[in-house]
Structure 1
Amino acid sequence: MKSLKSYRRITVKIGSALLVDRAAGLKRDWLTSLADDIAVLADAGAEVLVVSSGAIALGRTILG
């Protein structure tokens, strides 16, 4: 398998279950870790696109 750093363009899809915890809301620690990983890829020259289907779930948590 090729290393992710060898790709020029990477798309990361984040689903609701990864983005939101029903009890606690936004999974900030997980997102911070993901951001760190994306920064490493970007520093290696990759273009990283993040797509989320979790926006609706997050909105539900915020709006109650």
Structure 2
Amino acid sequence: MKTPDREALKYTFGVCSWQIIMLPTILTTTANKIRITIKNIKFIPKPQRISRDHSLEIFNKM
């Protein structure tokens, strides 16, 4: 009866340890993606970055 429990514990511990090991890499990849998107937003010229209210005003004038 004790061996299956031990195997289950080993399995869960292995999964948890793997997730702990993978967590920094996952975080860094997501951070890099966010950084890239922020850079792309910054590179957009200012005339194209029109606020929603301003675009609505333009639409109403047309």
Q: TM-score, normalised by structure 2?
A: 0.33
Structure number having the greater helix percentage: 2
Structure number having the greater strand percentage: 1
Larger of the two Rg values belongs to structure? 2
Q: More relative contact order in 1 or in 2 (CA 8 Å, sep 6+)?
A: 1
